[in-house]
Amino acid sequence: MAWVVRCNNPVLMKILAPPATNAFTAGSAIMMISTTSGRSPAAFNSGVAKERMVVSSSASRMRCLLAAQLGCIMPWTSVSRAIKATAQIRLEAEPQHVNFCDKAMAYFRSFIRTRQGAVDTGLKLTKDYVFKKAGWRPLRQVLTAAGLAVTLAGCANDGSIELGSDFFGAIAADEPRAALIGREVLATGGSATDAAVATFFSLAVTLPSSAGLWSAGSCVVFDPASKRFERLDFQAQAGAANRASGRTVLTLPKAPAAMNALHARYGRLPIQKLLAKSEQLARWGKRVSRQLARDLSGHQNTLGPTARRLLLPKGQHLPLSALLQQPALANTLGQLRDRGIDDLYQGALAAELVAAAQRAGLRLDGDLLRQAAPQWVTVTGLAHAYQAWTVVAPNAAVDQRLNTVLARLLSDQGWHGRGDDGRLKALHAAHLDAGIGAGVTAAGGQDRAGSTAFWALDADGQAVGCAISLGAAFGSGELLADTGLFTMLIEAADGETADAAVLMVGNTLNWQTHMIAAASGGPAAGDALLAVSVDHFDGEVPLPAAISRPRQAVISARQVARETAIETTDLPENLAADKWSRLARVRVMHCFDGIPRVQPECVVGDDRRGAGLATFDQ
Query: Of all helices (H) and strands (E), which one includes residue 148?
Result: strand 148-152
Q: What is the pLDDT of residue 197?
A: 98
Q: What is the pLDDT of residues 558-570, one digit of tens each?
A: 899 999 888 777 7
Average pLDDT, the chain: 76
Residue 264, SS3 per DSSP: helix
pLDDT exceeds cutoff 60 at 613: yes
Query: What is the percent of the chain with per-residue pLDDT over 90, rounded to a whole number?
Result: 53
Taking 90 as the threshold, does the pLDDT of residue 2 lie above it? no
Least confident of 70-84, 93-107, 233-247, 548-562: 70-84
> Alpha helix (H) ranges present in 317-467?
327-339, 343-346, 348-359, 366-371, 396-411, 420-433
What single DSSP character describes residue 7? B
What distance in Å separates the CA atoms of residue 406 and residue 502, rounded to the nearest whole number? 12
Residue 110 backbone phi and psi in degrees, to 5: -60, -40
Mean pLDDT of 6-15: 32
Stretch 103-116: mean pLDDT: 38
Q: What is the pLDDT of residue 615?
A: 86
Query: Are residues 485 and 214 in contact, defined by beta-carbon separation less than 8 angstroms?
Result: yes
Length reported for the chain: 618
Q: Residues 375-395: what's their mean pLDDT?
A: 94
Residue percentage of the chain with pLDDT more than 70: 70
Residues 561, 445 contacting (CB under 8 angstroms): yes
Q: What is the pLDDT of residue 141?
A: 39
- Average pLDDT (243-270) is 89
pTM, to two decimals: 0.76
Least confident of 48-52, 340-344, 549-553: 48-52
Q: How far apart are CA 92 and CA 108, in angstroms?
A: 18
Higher pLDDT, 122 or 286: 286
Which pLDDT value is given to residue 404?
A: 95
Distance, CA of 217 to CA of 394 (rounded, Å): 4
Annotated domain spans of the chain: 13-158, 169-377+452-492
What are residue 245's DSSP bridge partners?
none
Strand order in the sheet with 382-384: 160-162, 602-605, 585-595, 512-520, 500-507, 387-392, 382-384
Residue 43 has pLDDT above 90, yes or no: no
Range 410-431 burial, b when 16+ CB lie within 10 A, else e: bebeebeeeebbebbbbbbebb
pLDDT of 65 reads: 28
pLDDT surpassing 70 at residue 228: yes
How far is Cα 131 from Cα 260, in angstroms, rounded to an integer?
47
- pLDDT of residue 438 exceeding 90: no
Q: Above 80 in pLDDT, residue 137?
A: no
Q: Please, which pLDDT band fits residue 439 given cuts at 50, 70 and 90? A: low
